[in-house]
A and B are shown apart, each in its own frame.
Chain A
Amino acid sequence: MSETVKQDHAVIGKSVPKIDGREKVTGAARYTADLKFPNMLFGKILTSPFAHARIISIDTSEAEKIPGVRAVITHKDAPTLKYGISPARWDENIFCIDTVKFVGDKVAAVACIDEQTCYKALAAIKVEYEELPAVLDPLHATDEDQPQIHPEFVRNINAEIHQDFGDVEAAFKDAHYVRTDTFVGNRTYQTPIEPHTATSMWDGEKLTVYSSTQSPHYFQYYIAREFGLPMGDVRVLKTYVGGGFGGKLEPTGLEFGGAILAKITGRPVKMFYDRAEMFAHNRGRHRQYMTITSGVDKDGKILGVHADFVMDGGAYTSLGIATAYYAGAMLTLTYEFDNFRFDMLRVYTNLPACGAQRGHGAPQPRYAFEAHLDNIAKDLDIDPMDIRILNARRPNTTTPNEFLVNSCEMKACLEKAREISGWDEKKGNLPKGRGIGVATGSFVSGAGYPIYRTDLPHAAAMIKVGEDGTAATLYTGATDIGQGSDTVLCQMAAEAMGYTYEQMKIVAADTETTPHDFGAYASRQTLMSGAAVKQAGEEVKAQMLEIAAEMLDFPAVDLDIREGKVFSPGNASVTLTFEEVARHFFVNRGPLVGKGSYTPPKLGGKFKGAAVGTSPAYSFAAQVSEVEIDEETGEINVLDVWDVHDCGTVINPALLEAQVHGALFMGLGESIWEEVKFDDKGRILNPNLSEYRIPTAVDMPVVHSALVDSYEPAGPWGVKEVGEGATLPTMGCFRNAIFDAMGVSINSLPLGYEKVWRALKERREEGPAE
């Protein structure tokens, strides 16, 4: 167990109800699509029906004649500046200019008086295409005879990564046993229940965009860049966001196109995707082809690992360059080994672009590695739990790719999972058709470097105490997309100020009224935004104490504030209310405001790509699952899952557990059912929620979640992440449970009933087992 700093907290560590709970259960909560503005128009985007084609001509004249059509735009009306996550890979235009690169690529857009007229207008736009051969197989995308998708990216190579740490070859030479396995991932889609919406409007030269976004700041940055506006003239804000999971992290045609349409018409324009358009826009999980070779000693201690991957990036970079690095970088976290090589090709195909989905690049490699480790354990006759405990990372260690790990209770997580799941009683003793599996995961608590090149702090916050002290408002750019950051940040603010949660109000994620913060991605907000909030709260508290000392004629150092009471720990007669002090402050000194900001320490090595995967802190998790397989049908029934997490100090236990449930649920879907499928023309076969199968209430197993004691020195009050880490072990954990139950290895995702059935059939046909 780590050294735990036990502190007596008044507000944090408690399962207070969500600050927006009441609004959300009464239907009062407004999401972007619920907003109406006077004179508002509706806008839709015309997309490409072909995976790859040259645009010969676009004729919008008929569409423009339809009554109720207010504007029709193409690339001629839009800035031609390309965008994407990093300058080296800016490869996407607002509207396609010469060629369309996937079914769903943006060609034109309309603004009309109502939605129905939009569809009439889209149907009346005549686009003449010359269809081109398309690249649909990522494993052949780099072949000489394949069409070139982006002229500047030769052989459709979007990114090529070669990282080498230690001496992998020597490690393999010294190893008692070396094994290679290959696994294939699946293209999945984040599938937030709220469709993307953006409503744009201009006031003179100032643009305001309401968007269902995970990062108003990142949207503001790219919108300003595209239109050549000062950032101060672009206001991006969200209302409530109906889930994101990575899919709402980058601006889309809805923001860019909407801004142009609103400018031309002089009216607010509401743009939105329907469910099929969401699938076409995609930016979901990359499908990865993963070959892993590891060498171990006779006890199963890992000596070296070589990860050799290819990922299908789709037609654009999107956020995928980060994904590509994350895929290998995060493999070094849960187990200790010194020698590591990572090779990756991210290739372009004429399919929708892939981006960041919960766990960003790491879940599929984690599945592959955990499956691979079970294969090794089986070959060497080692219990899968033992081989993991043997290799488990320890606190205050450095990974071969130079990530500094402070707190780390990997071993304790495994031991606790072993205990609460009844591993030792179950392993090898379960009835026929049942199996038990284990896997681990780890994730960053915020990225060590910003999402685009800038020296801005990663997070900032401001707290304004009301003039009579009966309320305080936290202003933060942190973005609550459902995970509950508004709630935990208000808890943290109240704790730092010595105030109560119930009196906190919040204004969040509005680039005009709230201080800068990068938003909701990389599980960063509890640690990074929280650090800024803590500092702001402490600044309020210091000012309060100073003026309280004057009021009481008592030394400030002997005063404290807690839950709205100013008191002296050593003198019970000295007491004031927070309200009295705050009011006195306002009357005598003006507004009582505290501010804070957070920049991570300098992290990581000097090699190419060293920044990706760095973080002030890492969460760790172990999962055990028990499954039952129907030998007749291959049906996979997950009975129980035990998740044990090391996530540092917990701010809100109920919300933390809810994150574990949700992450596990997403992992369950991706493990067993979910896959975006394409036909031979690159068209999505299942762009809807009946054929893209996410788990329903009847699919969820019994979830047992537990924590181990841990304190993270780099986080405010010792916090670290939870929201994404719990997605990581799940896929490998189920695969390993199936392996235990039936002795068959399912080497691709989704594991799927049919794959299990086929594997069992194949084994039967190979003849009886010895």
Chain B
Amino acid sequence: METIDDTRKTTAGPKPKRYVIDLTVNGDPRTVVVKGNALLVNVLRDELDLTGTKKGCELGDCGSCTVLLDGIPVDACLVLALEADGCDIVTIEGVAAHGELDRLQATFVDKAAVQCGYCTPGMILSAKALLTKNPHPTEPEIRAAIAGNLCRCTGYVNIVKAIAAAAEIETAATESGEAR
């Protein structure tokens, strides 16, 4: 990793080091210069304008900032940008290919799994990681896979249905009486 050593002094002491990191984000090669304490979530949102990755708690509790780091779902608020150097990152903006919704995105819309939508990007990426690894999960496996993504609107009912529909499995999650 290239380091930019700035030998100029400021009144507050030596300037902090900057690092040049290379990321592949949604297939795009990106080079950014960051401070050592820069968080991946802020680099994605503020430097690369990928605001689909949301901040809900900045403590790793809510899962709103979930992205795929070399295929693994991570909370981007708990990852230093430096740790992601050389990694392949998928954010929600990279899930739909050429404007066509991914199957998961389509089932989220079809099953009314989206309300305010704030948890949706993280939820879809956690689900995507699950289905990549395990294309036909059980309902408990679906629930476990999104247990780190908090949603305050849906009670998860339709989210579980949407993931199950994308995986083409039956779910007993709800048996709701159709409206009349």
Shortest C-beta distance, A651 to chain B (Å), equals 10
Shortest C-beta distance, B28 to chain A (Å), equals 15
With A25-B109, A688-B59 known to touch, is A192 a contact of B150 (CB < 8 Å)?
A: no
With A705-B177, A707-B179 known to touch, is A697 a contact of B147 (CB < 8 Å)?
A: yes
Shortest C-beta distance, A626 to chain B (Å), equals 14
* Residues in A neighbouring B147, C-beta threshold 8 A: 696-698
Least CB separation from A190: chain B residue = B152
* Residues in A neighbouring B62, C-beta threshold 8 A: 193, 275, 689
Shortest C-beta distance, A262 to chain B (Å), equals 20
A24 contacts B120, C-beta separation under 8 Å: yes
B:83-103 near A, CB below 8 Å: 91-93, 95-96, 101
CA distance A644 to B93 in the complex (A): 39
* Residues in B neighbouring A241, C-beta threshold 8 A: 116
* Residues in B neighbouring A697, C-beta threshold 8 A: 142-144, 146-147, 149, 151, 156, 159-160
B177 contacts A17, C-beta separation under 8 Å: no
B2 interfacial by beta-carbon distance below 8 Å: no
B71 interfacial by beta-carbon distance below 8 Å: no
CA distance A137 to B127 in the complex (A): 45
Shortest C-beta distance, B108 to chain A (Å), equals 5
A506 interfacial by beta-carbon distance below 8 Å: no
What is the interface size of chain B, counting residues whose CB is below 8 A from a CB of the partner? Answer: 64
Q: Which of A27, A30, A664, A702 contacts B91 (CB 8 A)?
A: A27
B117 contacts A482, C-beta separation under 8 Å: yes
B56 contacts A703, C-beta separation under 8 Å: no
B109 contacts A21, C-beta separation under 8 Å: yes
Shortest C-beta distance, A383 to chain B (Å), equals 24
B158 contacts A661, C-beta separation under 8 Å: yes
Q: Which of B57, B121, B154 contacts A27 (CB 8 A)?
A: B121
Shortest C-beta distance, A677 to chain B (Å), equals 17
B115 contacts A658, C-beta separation under 8 Å: yes
* Residues in A neighbouring B157, C-beta threshold 8 A: 658, 661, 665, 700, 703
CA distance A195 to B157 in the complex (A): 23
B154 contacts A193, C-beta separation under 8 Å: no
* Residues in A neighbouring B148, C-beta threshold 8 A: 696
B116 contacts A194, C-beta separation under 8 Å: yes
A662 contacts B154, C-beta separation under 8 Å: yes
Least CB separation from B37: chain A residue = A116
With A662-B153, A694-B152 known to touch, is A707 a contact of B180 (CB < 8 Å)?
A: yes
Shortest C-beta distance, B163 to chain A (Å), equals 10
B116 contacts A27, C-beta separation under 8 Å: no
Residue of A34, A192, A704 contacting most chain B CB atoms (<10 Å): A34
B110 interfacial by beta-carbon distance below 8 Å: yes
* Residues in B neighbouring A650, C-beta threshold 8 A: 179-180
A654 interfacial by beta-carbon distance below 8 Å: yes
Encoded as 1 (CB less than 8 Å from any A CB) or 0, chain B from 35 to 64 comes to: 000000000010001111111111101101
* Residues in A neighbouring B172, C-beta threshold 8 A: 702
Least CB separation from B95: chain A residue = A26
B6 interfacial by beta-carbon distance below 8 Å: no
* Residues in B neighbouring A25, C-beta threshold 8 A: 92, 96, 101, 105, 108-109, 114, 117, 120, 124
A502 interfacial by beta-carbon distance below 8 Å: no
B131 interfacial by beta-carbon distance below 8 Å: no
Encoded as 1 (CB less than 8 Å from any A CB) or 0, chain B from 2 to 16 comes to: 000000000000000
* Residues in B neighbouring A655, C-beta threshold 8 A: 112
Q: Which of B64, B115, B173, B177 contacts A484 (CB 8 A)?
A: B115
A698 contacts B143, C-beta separation under 8 Å: yes
* Residues in A neighbouring B112, C-beta threshold 8 A: 15, 17-18, 654-655, 657-658
* Residues in A neighbouring B176, C-beta threshold 8 A: 657, 703-706
A661 contacts B177, C-beta separation under 8 Å: no
B57 contacts A275, C-beta separation under 8 Å: yes
Shortest C-beta distance, A635 to chain B (Å), equals 17
CA distance A642 to B99 in the complex (A): 40
B56 contacts A665, C-beta separation under 8 Å: no
* Residues in A neighbouring B53, C-beta threshold 8 A: 27
CA distance A706 to B101 in the complex (A): 32
A191 interfacial by beta-carbon distance below 8 Å: yes
Encoded as 1 (CB less than 8 Å from any B CB) or 0, chain A from 10 to 32 comes to: 00010101101111111111110
CA distance A28 to B172 in the complex (A): 32
A656 contacts B179, C-beta separation under 8 Å: yes
With A21-B109, A275-B59 known to touch, is A243 a contact of B179 (CB < 8 Å)?
A: no
Least CB separation from B178: chain A residue = A653
A661 contacts B155, C-beta separation under 8 Å: yes
Interface residues of B (CB under 8 A from A): 45, 49-59, 61-62, 64, 91-93, 95-96, 101, 105, 108-112, 114-121, 124, 140, 142-144, 146-160, 172-180
Q: A26-B96, A243-B115 given. 12 additional CB < 8 A pairs?
A: A26-B52, A29-B52, A192-B118, A240-B116, A242-B54, A242-B117, A243-B116, A274-B58, A654-B111, A666-B152, A689-B150, A698-B147
A-B contact pairs, 7 of them (CB 8 A): A15-B112, A25-B124, A481-B116, A664-B155, A665-B157, A668-B155, A707-B179
